[in-house]
Each structure stands twice: as structure tokens, then as C-alpha cells.
Amino acid sequence: MKGQEEIEDRTTIAETTEKTEPSRIQSVTLYSSFAYVTKNLRAKVKAGSSEIYLGEIPGRVAERTVSVRFPDSSKKIKILGIRSKVRIERKARTKEIASLLKRQETLNDQIELLSLEIQELIAEEKTIVKISPVIRKEPSPQEEIADPEFLSGFQKQYHEYLNQLSLIRQKN
């Protein structure tokens, strides 16, 4: 993704560059037991994999009700998932402690993300291992089930994530 994309959400969005952008309320629809709030934000998102943090969400908001949409879907934007995390901010006595707490939080987030990616890769690997070709007695066209290049790329990515995770854990 290049340029500015309009991101629709129900909260304030902070990009991974620690830049906080305020959103504007576009509409509010009140129902008997809940309200539907739509906020719009223009944010620069770099091409490639990006994380967007939604902040200041009231505790009573259900995780499954938060959504992010892009108005121009022709730019091949793919939302991989939405995860929620309760974060309690602590006030540090000194700037050094605040900096260290922020660094610790960043490292913990990286560890958590890599752990989730590794779990997904393990689940994918188990699925791939379960797939086995069927040998038929009569000659018939056989579909190739396991692609060796895909499997080697998968294993390379899996080991790369494991190495990143171990490096991050060693830093802690």
C-alpha cells in the first residue's frame, strides 16, 4: 500500500511507528442496548506488513465488534486478523524507567506475535504432514498434493521465526 488510505474504525489508531492519529466520528446510531459508532481516519501506511493499534477502546466493547475497513479494496489490502489486549499503563518515576518499560512492552509484543505465527505454522505443518498421496491400481491422472518448493519455503520461514523468537527471548 502506498499513499494515504482511509481507515474506518471505532477508536483512535496508532501506527507501529508510535504515531497517534485522532479519528473523527462520522456517525452514531443508538439502539436500545448498544450504540454503533463509526470513526474515520486518514493514515499513511507503508507497503508491506503493517500493524495498526486501536487505542482507548472502552472495556465494555466486545472484541468481535471492532472492524477495520479500507474504502478502496482494489489495492490488494488483506487484513490478517484482529487481536485484543488489555493494557494497563503504569506511570514510571523516571524517564529511564519509562523507556525501559516501553522497551519491555515492545519486546513482549514481538514475542507474543512471533509465538502466534509459530503456532499457526505448526498447525499448517501438521495439516501438510497429514496429506498423503493416494495410489490407485488403475492408471488415472494423479493430482500432486504436496508441493516440495512450498514445503521447503514453509520450513525455512518456520525456522526463521524460531530464530527470531529465540533472539528476542535472549535479549530479555
**pLDDT tens for each residue of 40-78:** 777 777 777 777 777 667 777 776 777 777 777 666 777
Say what the pTM is. Answer: 0.38
User: 165 near 112, Cβ under 8 Å?
Assistant: no
Residue 27 has φ and ψ, to the nearest 5°, of -155, 155
The Cα-based distances of 7 to 64, 94, 112, 121 in angstroms read 18, 36, 25, 29
